[in-house]
Amino acid sequence: MSSVRAMASTRFVSLFNAKAADSTKTLARAGWSVCFRRNFSTAPSRLQSCMSAWVIDQYGTNGVLKFAEEITVPTVNSPSEVMIKVHAASLNPLDISMRGGYGAKLLKLRRDPMSVMDNNNDSEFPLILGRDVSGVVVDCGSEVTHFVPGDEVWAAVPPWKQGSLAEFVTLTEYEVSHKPKLLSHTEAASIPYVANTALSAFVNAGGLCRDSSSNKRVLITGGSGGVGTFSIQLLKAWGAHVTVTCSQNAEGLIRGLGADEVVDYTAGDAHEQLGMMEKFDVILDGVGGETEQWAIGLLKPWSGAKYITLVTPLLFNTDSMGLLGGMFQTGFTLHSKATQNIISSGVFYRWGFYAPDGPALDEVSKLVDAGKILPVVEAQFPFTQVPQAFQKLEQGHARGKTVVRVAEEDERQAEELVQNRRKETAESEQEVQEMAKQN
């Protein structure tokens, strides 16, 4: 696999182009019933009350995904809300899990607290999946101060809200951020959910930040997926020393993103190799399971080191044991692991969670426009091929993100705009360099 650094001039890491030739025919052959109304308007129509979206009406395998045209548009209902026309969305492992019903009990409670009275209702349907959005603001509530219609924005949609595999999505102002100027919507959609997850894990659970990371040794397990490829770049931008575990065939990508040390876990002795290295200050575990057993021993003892896992049993427990039993069991598990680790080796055991955070995305936007973080898009699909995008993700072995182009025509125009911006930026950088030479 070629290095990302080698491709950095394009700023867009396209590792695997999954564009399909004739999407509607392909869908029909695959047995998906579709009826497309693709004349999306660029400006919001005050009269438009319905939109197109991929929805599920029940939990299950890929067959439950349905294209629907008559979904109610999520209009602005509170003064702090922003309505966004979706240009691109991306998929995360959570979308596969949620399609199957993962987290249904807790997320339903969050959407509708009254649902606790009647656990058997299916008020969440039709449910729209898709956690990332890059698009354009089309309407704002009366108290919105940071955005106006026409702004290009990006955001990670909380799992308890209707998702971005739709023409429009509505979020609160706090969850939204201005998208990086130098990325197209397709590129931008690959970042928000993994960025909000990584930042929440590193900052809130790991105590790291831009100004406190320069001497820190960080290990990331599962580094070749969405969260890993973003985290490597973030930590390098913050000046940390980054070690990553991944499959052998992802090594080029991971080194290209700036990782200092790469360990091939498929060789079988990853923890022995890691054990011979200097110990770590922070571990972000994106694999969980057995990895947790050996990873904690790689931390510096009695020095405030932190193990943060993204693979937590919270939603699994509430699904299988009910809300009260699940939350009690989860609290007990976390408390006993945290206590055991702090007493035995003086390391902090923590769970990392995605947290919606527009201001955090503002910071990421600056890093992207400064060329310090590149989007890593492995595959992209048109809006007609959302089920195929799910299939791709379900195969595992991600190398970055899978993106869905929702508004093709608008995205083509936006892509031209971005290309022009990049050209202008490159030209003005060249002018500055020439002036500096002359002086």
Ligand X SMILES: NC(=O)c1ccc[n+]([C@@H]2O[C@H](COP(=O)([O-])OP(=O)(O)OC[C@H]3O[C@@H](n4cnc5c(N)ncnc54)[C@H](OP(=O)(O)O)[C@@H]3O)[C@@H](O)[C@H]2O)c1
User: Given the rule CB under 6 A, which residues bind ligand X?
Assistant: 92-94, 194, 197, 221-222, 224-228, 245-247, 265, 286-287, 310-312, 352-354, 396-398
Residue whose C-beta lies closest to ligand X: 225
> Least separation, in Å, of the C-beta of 311 and ligand X?
5
Q: 323: which DSSP letter?
A: H
Dihedrals phi, psi of 95, to nearest 5 degrees: -65, -40
Which of 200, 385 has the CB closer to ligand X? Answer: 200
Three-state secondary-structure class, residue 87: strand
> Least separation, in Å, of the C-beta of 158 and ligand X?
11
> Least separation, in Å, of the C-beta of 103 and ligand X?
10
> Least separation, in Å, of the C-beta of 191 and ligand X?
12
Which of 224, 365 has the CB closer to ligand X? Answer: 224
Which of 71, 208 has the CB closer to ligand X? Answer: 208
> Least separation, in Å, of the C-beta of 263 and ligand X?
9
Query: By C-alpha distance, which of 362, 363, 112 is closest to 237?
Result: 363
> Least separation, in Å, of the C-beta of 147 and ligand X?
26
Spatial CB neighbours of 311, under 8 Å, sequence gap ≥ 6? 285, 286, 287, 288, 289, 292
Rg, Å, the chain Cα set: 22
The CB-based long-range contact list for 298-304 (8 Å cut-off, 24+ gap) reads: 298/219, 298/271, 298/274, 299/345, 299/347, 300/347, 301/345, 301/346, 301/347, 302/345, 302/346, 303/346, 304/207, 304/348
Instruction: Please give, one letter per residue, the 3-state secondary structure of 351-377.
Output: ECCCCCCHHHHHHHHHHHHCCCCCCEE
**Beta strands at 81-91 and 401-405: parallel, antiparallel or unpaired:** antiparallel
Which of 227, 274 has the CB closer to ligand X? Answer: 227
Which of 268, 359 has the CB closer to ligand X? Answer: 268
Spatial CB neighbours of 427, under 8 Å, sequence gap ≥ 6? none
> Least separation, in Å, of the C-beta of 313 and ligand X?
10
Which of 286, 356 has the CB closer to ligand X? Answer: 286
Which of 92, 186 has the CB closer to ligand X? Answer: 92
Q: Sign of torsion, CA 259 261 264 270?
A: negative
